[in-house]
Structure 1
Amino acid sequence: MTRPSRANARVLDGLRLAVTTLTVLPLRAGRVDRSAAGVAMTVAPAVGALLGLVLAGVHEGLRAAGSPALVAAGVTVATGALLTRGLHLDGLADTVDALGSYRTGPAALEIMKKPDIGPFGVAAIVVTLLIQAAAVTAVGPWALVTAWATGRLAITVACRRGVPAARPDGLGAMVASTVPLGTVLAAAITVAALATTAVPGRPWQGPAAVLTALLAVVLLVRHTVRRFGGLTGDVLGAAVETATTVTLIAVTLG
């Protein structure tokens, strides 16, 4: 196999990994390793944008059919959870439970591995879904695309070079430090450019929302690395939901 064909295979494996990890689409699995993971974490914002387009279609379709604003928003947010298996919400709950325990290192990681959800985690899910649904009632379709793309851009940012894994195995170990900083910057610029359409008449507000969300993700990842010793799959889920929610809040302001 020639060098170009190996590179193409790596990209295809990474694309399949991104879609199968971030959505419910049943694609045939390709090779799963850190090389493919790096591609998958790089293209995560594109998968998020596609999810956002689907959700925008769901929301606009319900509104056109006469659905009340809050009902349409609730169904849209619920559809987003279904299309991702609720994976990111689960990661958010586990991360918040571990942070709420005030434990560090292996003790905190053990809490994250438990199958049940504690009161902190339940509260985090409820508040997150409530805020997202409320925000969706007040924004347009391109704001949804921006929010879901930014949510997955959080994965790219969290997996940047220099962020260690908390465990020697698991999703965190496979994806941690797989995305070069230059690639992170290019992905952020691309999503920020997309975000200029998020708020009609205010082309600056969408990019500002993206930057605000990424700042929240950087702070979250820094804090969890300090508390847990590194990145985990649950932290990635928490980063996704944090970035999506912060973006939705920011584009509703004013």
Structure 2
Amino acid sequence: MRSWATLPEVLGGVAPFAPILDTVKTGEPGFDAALGTDLFSYLRDHPDHGAAFDAAMAERTAAFAPSVAEAGDFSRARTVVDVGGGNGMLLAQILRQHPHLDGVLFDSPAVTSRPNTLLTAPDLAGRCRIEPGDFFDRVPTGGDVYVMANIVHDWDDTRAATILHDCARAMNEDGRILLVERMIPDSPAEAVPALVSDISMLVLTGGRERTVTEYAALLDAAGLTLRSVRPVSFPYGVLEGTR
């Protein structure tokens, strides 16, 4: 977890947390105030930091990818779209555990333009395409399952609902959305780590961690219903939304 250990330095150290009082009052990310731009623009404009950030995300994904691939019901699916899937580590794991599937990796041009060795491995040849785009504008159409891991928590409720609505509009009639997220437990004694993460998301991106009830409300706003919640590798869970 070396890349994960260096992540605070990549994200500006303590500087984004200095205006935390204003952040809590206004909801405006402290990162923007401290660095003069939003997090994702900063990572795009500073390739070294962007690469370090991606490496940290890949380490985290590697920890939960096998359990997510096992927990999700992909038996009736044919095409899985990984929205904001980074280097494709989760999608590669899903495709390997479910050989009948094809996949689409969808992320920003800055991410998809990088060489990808995971999805071009010989055992995945011909089963996955990589597509650039902006999930606030559109996502690839025709998928049976749309997977988003640690995506929705990056955004406030309005933007999160936009992403979910785009996926709901793009997916097949009997399609499903799988959200892989850290959920805030109902028990106050168990909620502290998630609440610390919640503050970090607010400071860095204006996003937030959420309870199951709050995720259900987001899905409802997109015309979807929360069908199930499955715990996977701590501290994550998989939330399934359908029409």
Q: Which category of TM-score, normalised to the shorter sequence, fits these structures?
A: under 0.3
- TM-score, L = length of structure 2: 0.27
- TM-score, L = length of structure 1: 0.26
Higher strand share: 2
Higher helix share: 1
Highest RCO, 1 vs 2 (Cα 8 Å, sep ≥ 6): 1
